[in-house]
Amino acid sequence: MHRRLILAALLASAATSALAQRPLLDSLTQRDASRGIKDALGLAAMNATTRLGQSNGFWGDAQVRIPLPGLLGRSQQSLRPLGLSRPLDALQENLNHAAETTMPEAGRLFVGAVRDISIADAIDIVRGPEDSATRYLRGRTETRLASLLRPPMTRALTQSGAFTLMRTALREVGLASVTGNLRAELISFSTAKALEGAFFFIAAEERAIRRDPLRRTTDILRRVFGS
């Protein structure tokens, strides 16, 4: 019985190895596909978070600029035509700059998440649409990444003075009584929107790698997506 168990384990190991090396497209193996997808997503994540981590990375780009949530946003829109939204406008800008400072940590979190992609999933991603790797990453990791990014976002908002600005703004528009309730909302909303912006540019980077040979900066990327 013991010998049979050992033999079965050896056969299973050999089968797994053979599966990983089975040709996918011409000389491309499944293991190559996995490495290529991880390289592509890792590169895309670092490029995206580096871009967003620059000065005005969020604030200066209307595609990813983070609005104010809920009551804060509605108040801002109502007061703007009256010329009274300046305190809330300042809060929004401050919030975006705080999000920019969290991007180095977000980049590290993304790279860590990319390591978990399985060989089987990588095959589907290679054969899928231009943003399939990004959609896979988002579907599998967004909730966990939001939880991990929330503490850095809280620190960034605190250190930037966003909560002080929020209290001042609410006092000036007659909403000081709701300050406590909005703090948690501001943290959660900022974290979610920061990740949304990162995924937006990761998808753009993935499309560029798939379309443009010059963006394939490693040998494995050229093997997986063509030279």
The pLDDT of 152-168, averaged and rounded, is 92
Alpha carbon separation from 10 to 7, 13, 18 (Å, rounded): 5, 5, 12
- More confident of the two residues 102 and 217: 102
Point out which residues pair with 25 in neighbouring strands: 28
Matching residue, tokens 């990791």: 141
Distance CA 51, CA 104 (A): 10
Distance CA 170, CA 166 (A): 6
Q: State the average pLDDT for the chain.
A: 84
Predicted confidence at residue 28, as pLDDT, reads 62
Which of 78-92, 152-166, 207-221 is predicted with the least confidence, judged by mean pLDDT?
Answer: 207-221
Q: Tell me the torsion sign for CA atoms 86, 88, 94, 97.
A: negative
For 59-91, how does the pLDDT look when each residue is reduced to its tens digit (9 = 90+)? 999 999 999 999 889 989 998 998 989 999 999
Predicted confidence at residue 121, as pLDDT, reads 84
* pLDDT of 6 above 70: no
Domain ranges of the chain: 33-225
For residues 140 and 112, the answer to whether their CB atoms sit within 8 Å is no
The CA-based dihedral angle spanning residues 103, 107, 109, 112, taken in that order and rounded to the nearest 10 degrees: 180
For 163-198, how does the pLDDT look when each residue is reduced to its tens digit (9 = 90+)? 999 888 888 877 777 666 788 999 999 999 999 999
Predicted confidence at residue 66, as pLDDT, reads 97
In the DSSP assignment, the letter for residue 81 is G
Dihedrals phi, psi of 29, to nearest 5 degrees? -105, 165
- Indicate the SS3 state at residue 107: helix
The pLDDT of 97-125, averaged and rounded, is 89
Predicted confidence at residue 17, as pLDDT, reads 41
pTM: 0.81
Angle subtended at Cα 29 by Cα 26 and Cα 31, rounded to the nearest 5 degrees: 160
Distance CA 91, CA 223 (A): 47
